Amino acid sequence: MAKGLIIVESPAKASTISKFLQHQYIIKASMGHVRDLPQKEMGVDVNNHFKAKYVVDPKKKKVIDELKKAAESADTIYFASDHDREGEAIAWHLATVLKKEIQGKPIYRITFNEITKSAIVQSLENPGQIDQNKVDSQQARRILDRIVGYTVSPVLWKILTKDLSAGRVQSVALRLICEREEEIEKFVPTEYWSIDGVFHKGKLPSFKTTLEKWDGKKAEIIDEKKALEMVAALKKGSPILKSIDKSSRKVEPGPSFITSTIQQEASKVLGFPAKKTMKLAQELYEGVEVKGDRVGLISYMRTDSLRISEEAITACRNLISERYGKDQVAAKPRHFANKNNAQDAHEAIRPTDPFRTPEQLATSLSKDQLKLYTLIWQRFVATQMKAMTVATTKVSVELGKALFVATGSHITDEGFKKVYPHVSISEGESIHADYREGDQLEIDNFIPLQHFTKPPARYTEAALIKELESKGIGRPSTYVAILSTIQDRQYVILIAKQFQPTDLGKKVNGFLVQQFDKLFNVKFTAEMENELDDIEYGKQKWEDVLNDYYQVLTDLMGKVNIKETKSNMKEDTDIPCSVCGTGHMQIKWGRKGQFLSCSNFPTCKHLENFTRGADGKIIITPKETLDEACPNCGSPLAIKQGRFGKFIACTNYPKCKYTRPITLEVTCPECGQGKLTEKKSKKGRKFYSCSRYPECKFITNYLPVAVKCPECGNPYMEEHTSKKEGTFKKCPKCGKEVF
């Protein structure tokens, strides 16, 4: 008997849904996208309405064959990929790939905000169709990114070095980091001082205040001399407690998480990188085993909407009433307003069932899954609890021309803080309740303190995501990819959890800002994000948006002078070339970073590696000269670093091009003639092969050591490492291990 076929994205999601539907449907996973633009060509015909050339992922052949087989036997097809632009595009691509197998059959698109039985059943009872506007929006974004990459990146290769890339959004993120670094580098600290005054009355405890006004104006103390003069004057006066102001305020809970805020809060509270947070959230959304049942624990995690369903709010309020008491429930249901550009396709991130508490799930989740679920659960439950109450006391002390102020706060009713403890208030100074206005005070001490203004802080992952979101750059599904890309390209590095641009990143950014400022700036990129949204809402045609963008790009490309720009990107030094004697060394870029090259290149091909001292001065890395002469010209031989590792070469290069590999004292076990030598793969991984390659193709991934095997007498052993045993030697012939 034929069944309906439901196609989701992941096996975990398929497994969860299958249990809910009690195997009444065939459920298959597409494993994400099944086709995309080709890897080795642009794949976009810019002269033919930006027609895209999509190709099937060869790694997905087996998956597609299974989907085709399932589609042939099914009576109805349901595309159930994620409810966003990417998910819509996946459904569209699947419909195209399976066109023959699904022809003439009912075809539906189903979506759900959470993977629960009720949500799945409801989606099947109310199926829809693939939203072509969403598909067009995703296509426009994908094609835009491809055009930028394939147009601008080759220019970077010609000017700096190969394997660089420029991205429509990633380049703006890099720009923000570089501009922040420029602010820090240009920052000049300014000295200023403050004065704390400590007072008391009788046996009452002292309290500390800070000088706020002098002679009726804001106190501004520029140096130590001025501070000491003021302290001397203050000591002559008699302080009076001029006022005591007591107040109470309500602190409301924040809304449930959206994609950006969960990444920020998980970073702050749990120390999780954004990528890890989203991976864990995906697992919680798709479902985990809980007491024999597979359950989706949270709603969809890629969202910018603060909306919560009325059913979820009611469940939350019932939980609070049962668990914490009726008096802890907010007086009326609390709702949060969305920002104007929020898509509102989903709810905010919340537990699918608030009665499924973190304590109940402790044995079902991994340590990190539990931490993230707890954070999401706490934040959601807090939204429907009563506000926290904070009492504040502010006192002012008058002393001659000076007015000192102190503020103290304390929580009188925890409210939502009972469930969401990750909020804090600045307690300030504790002021005893027996102090009264008009009290004559005694002086304990005056404390002059030196300060310096500080530069702006570097971006953390959380801070950068917050900045991108506030400026309208990127969307919930793209933040992790943006951060990953600029790190993978080695444009930025994380030091003490803060982004710093590398020299390469600064160079790339400098070029992009100089030549393509109109494209790679915050305002233009944010406007483009809004236009992509407009395509989804049917307000714009995707081809028009692409055409306008491409016109700007081609106009800017036409103004780039490769030769002139490349010349400007070189950095001259006053270091003379030690080979030709007439040129000087210039800083250039290669795949492994900066190096020194003779200005007479290509006539003189002399190169040098270098580092920089603390003062930025260039230090040429010394060569390891060997006590051995070149067999060709008699010049000394030296160890040099190449793309695939170290090797021996003549110091008279380029006149003499003698080279040979550095060999280990181990004879090749395969040919018995060559020596084993260390090499590196293109990805930087070490391996060991015969010096007679390609005649002998022996290879091993383990370091050969000239130690005879005590068991079988094999002339060498290999070095291995394990977490349990550490480093040990193992014979490749008989397997004998020596620790």
Q: What is the CATH number of the domain that holds 267?
A: 1.10.290.10
pLDDT in tens, 604-641: 888 888 887 777 788 888 667 788 889 898 888 888 76
Helix (H, G, I), strand (E, B) or coil at 564: helix
Q: Which of 300, 373, 459, 479 is labelled catalytic? A: 300
Domain-embedded: residue 724: no
Length of the chain: 739
- Pairing state of beta strands 55-56 and 659-661? unpaired
The answer to whether residues 123 and 144 belong to one domain is no
Q: What gap in Å lies between CA 424 and CA 173, rounded to an integer?
A: 31
- Is there a domain that residue 642 lies in? no
For residue 355, the number of C-alpha atoms closer than 13 Å in the C-beta half-sphere is 8
Domain boundary among 502, 537, 563: 563
301 lies in some domain = yes
Kindly give, in sequence order, each residue whose CB lies less than 8 Å from that of residue 248, ignoring residues fewer than 6 positions away: 389, 390, 391, 392, 412
Question: Which one, of 473, 466, 475, lies nearest residue 345 by Cα?
Answer: 475
Are residues 9 and 70 located together in one domain of the fold?
Answer: yes
Residue type, 164: L
Query: Cα–Cα distance between 210 and 395 in angstroms, integer?
Result: 11
Domain boundary pick from 382, 404, 437: 382
The whole-angstrom separation of Cα 177 and Cα 155 is: 22
- Which residue in the block uniquely carries the two structure tokens 């349990």? 724
Which DSSP symbol is given to 266?
Answer: I
Residue 565 has pLDDT above 90, yes or no: no
- The confidence score (pLDDT) of residue 342 equals 55
CA 475 vs. chain centroid, Å, equals 13
Q: Which stretches of 240-309 are DSSP H helices?
A: 259-265, 274-286
Q: pLDDT by residue (tens digit) across 139-194? A: 999 999 999 999 999 999 888 888 888 999 999 999 999 999 999 999 999 999 99
Cα separations in angstroms, 732 against 9, 631, 693? 44, 35, 21
Helix (H) or strand (E) holding 35: strand 35-36
255 preceded by cis ω (within 30°)?
A: no
Distance CA 618, CA 597 (A): 13
Q: Check: CB of residue 641 under 8 Å from CB of residue 632.
A: no
Mean pLDDT of 376-396: 97
CATH number at residue 196: 2.70.20.10
The number of folded domains in the chain is 4
Task: Mark whether 25 and 114 lie in a shared domain.
Answer: yes
> Are 248 and 396 contained in the same domain?
yes
| Domain annotation covers residue 150 | yes
Same domain for 126 and 17? yes
* Number of CB atoms found within 10 A of residue 687's CB: 16
Token pair 């659960």 in the structure block, residue:
377
Burial environment of residue 9 by CB neighbours within 10 A (0 to 12, 13 to 18, 19 or more):
buried
Distance in angstroms (rounded) separating the CA atoms of residues 394 and 242 = 11
Q: Is the peptide bond before 715 cis (omega within 30 degrees of 0)?
A: no
User: Would you state the pLDDT for residue 176?
Assistant: 97
Whole-angstrom Cα Rg for the chain? 34
Residues 481 and 559 occupy one common structural domain: yes
Q: Please indicate, yes or no, if residue 56 is contained in any of the structural domains.
A: yes
Categorize the per-residue pLDDT at 345 as very low, low, confident or very high, splitting at 50, 70 and 90: low
Angle at 718 between CA 714 and CA 722, to 5 degrees: 140
Question: What's the rounded Cα separation, in Å, for the pair 74 and 66?
Answer: 12
The predicted-structure confidence for 287-297, as pLDDT tens digits, reads as follows 999 988 889 99
Instruction: Give me the percent of the chain exceeding a pLDDT of 70.
Output: 97
Q: Which residue type occupies 287?
A: G
* Per-residue model confidence as pLDDT tens digits over 432-455: 999 999 999 999 999 999 999 999
The whole-number pLDDT of residue 446 equals 97
Q: What share of the chain is helix, strand, coil (3-state, %, to 5)?
A: 35, 25, 40
> Could you tell me which of 235, 377, 402, 395 has the C-alpha nearest to residue 312?
377
Q: What angle do CA 458, 463, 469 make, to 5 degrees?
A: 130
CA distances to 136, 138, 260, 404, 464 from 475, in Å? 16, 12, 9, 47, 13
CA 698/CA 677 separation, integer angstroms: 11
| pLDDT single digits (tens) 527-538 | 999 999 999 999
**Chain CA centroid to CA 240, Å:** 54
In contact, 732 and 703? CB cutoff 8 Å? no
Sign of CA dihedral 457, 462, 464, 468: negative
537 within domain boundaries = yes
In the three-class reduction of DSSP (H, G, I as helix; E, B as strand; rest coil), residue 265 is classed as helix
Do 342 and 312 meet the contact criterion of CB atoms below 8 Å apart?
no
Q: For residue 640, which of 620, 656, 625 has the smallest C-alpha distance?
A: 625
Strands (E), 489-542: 492-495, 498-501
Comparing CA positions, the residue from 7, 144, 35, 134 lying closest to residue 93 is 35
The reported pLDDT for the residue numbered 567 is 78
Comparing CA positions, the residue from 24, 10, 3, 25 lying closest to residue 115 is: 10
Tell me the average pLDDT of the chain. 91
Mind listing the pLDDT tens digit for each residue in 113-130? Answer: 999 999 999 999 999 999
483-515 per-position pLDDT tens digit? 999 999 889 999 999 999 998 899 999 999 999
Look up tokens 């793209």; give the residue. Answer: 478
Same domain, 277 and 375: yes
Note whether 156 and 177 are same-domain residues: yes
* Ramachandran angles phi, psi of 324, nearest 5°: -115, -10
User: Are 279 and 376 found together in one domain?
Assistant: yes
Tell me, yes or no, whether 635 lies in a domain: no
Last residue of a domain, one of 110, 130, 150: 130
Q: CB-based contacts of 434: which residues, under 8 Å, 6+ apart?
A: 204
Residue 62 has pLDDT above 60, yes or no: yes
The conformation of residue 187, written as its DSSP 8-state character, comes to -
Neighbour-count burial of 198, counting CB atoms closer than 10 A to its CB (0-12 exposed, 13-18 middle, 19+ buried):
middle
H or E element at residue 240: strand 240-251
Same domain, 86 and 149: no
Q: What is the C-alpha to C-alpha distance for residues 93 and 552, in angstroms, rounded to an integer?
A: 30
CB 156 within 8 A of CB 166: yes
DSSP 3-state of 683: coil
Joined together, the tokens standing for residue 720 give 């291995």
- What single letter denotes the amino acid at residue 734? C
CATH number of the CATH domain containing 516? 1.10.460.10
Indicate whether 739 belongs to any domain: no
Which residue is associated with the tokens 């304990």?
Answer: 444
* Tokens 């009972």 found at: 418
In this structure, the answer to whether residues 416 and 492 fall within a common structural domain is no
Structure tokens at 511: 């070029």
Look at residues 262, 345, 295, 395 and name the one whose alpha carbon lies nearest to residue 86.
345
CA proximity to 650, closest of 673, 633, 664: 633
Examine the pLDDT at 35 and tell me if it is beyond 80.
Answer: yes
Mean pLDDT of the region 525-554: 94
pLDDT, mean of residues 302-331: 95
- Look up residue 166 and give its two tokens: 């420029």
Q: Please, are residues 402 and 327 in contact by the beta-carbon 8 Å criterion?
A: no
In the prediction, which pLDDT does 191 show? Answer: 96
Residues 195 and 182 reside in one and the same domain: no
Catalytic annotation on 550?
A: no
- One DSSP character per residue, 527-582 reads HHHHHHHHHHTTSS-HHHHHHHHHHHHHHHHTT--HHHHHHHH-EEEEEEPTTTSS
Spatial distance between the Cα atoms of 522 and 464, rounded to a whole number of angstroms: 13
Structure tokens at 618: 């260039």
On the CB side of 493, CA atoms within 13 Å amount to: 6
Q: What is the pLDDT of residue 592?
A: 66
Contact criterion met (CB below 8 Å) for 475 and 84? no
Between CA 553 and CA 103 the distance in angstroms is: 41
Query: Containing domain of residue 42, as a range?
Result: 4-130
Q: What is the structure's pLDDT at 404?
A: 98
DSSP run (H or E) holding 29: strand 26-29
Q: What is the DSSP letter of 643?
A: T
| C-alpha distances out from residue 735 to 686, 688, 711, 723, Å | 22, 19, 9, 19
Whichever domain contains 36, its CATH number is 3.40.50.140
